Amino acid sequence: ATSESWRDKATGERKDRTEWHRVVIFNERLADVAEKYLKKGAKVYVEGQLQTRKWTDKDGAEKYTTEVVLQRFRGELTMLDGRGGGGGEGGYEGGGGGGGGGGGGGGGRGKPGGPPDLDDEIPF
């Protein structure tokens, strides 16, 4: 979710708005990291492709949903709260391949069969 707040010029009242986002992860390693380490309210940076799809609900009404999609070899997920939910920064980049930038991205990070070593991603 992203939130913003502002003060209404006419009334001086403080206003808040929260926008909820659906994130779909097709990269198995990123999905594993998200499942194990992300908790409700955690701060996270997500970079992916926006996709809108149409579906029909149980009453027959057509609905649309827009999702941030992290493909298998493209997309990025960075945990801003660190592992324990507070303080430091940690991150895991799950690909390169797209746009202008690094080739193999997330391959080879962490131990085989286990979660990636997120401490290696701290930029300082």
Q: Domain tally for the chain?
A: 1
Residue bearing the bigger pLDDT, 112 or 117: 117
Residue 84: burial class (beta carbons within 10 Å; 0-12, 13-18, 19+) = exposed
Instruction: Let me know if residue 62 belongs to a domain.
Output: yes
CATH number for the domain spanning 20: value is: 2.40.50.140
* Dist CA 78 CA 37 (whole Å): 11
Instruction: Give the pLDDT band of residue 41 (cuts 50, 70, 90).
Output: confident
pLDDT in tens, 74-99: 889 999 986 555 433 344 444 433 33
Residue range(s) defining the domain that contains residue 35: 16-87
Position 85 scores a pLDDT of 52
Instruction: Let me know if residue 30 belongs to a domain.
Output: yes
High-pLDDT (> 90) share of the chain, %: 56
Nearest to 42 by CA among 76, 69, 80: 80
Instruction: Let me know if residue 103 belongs to a domain.
Output: no
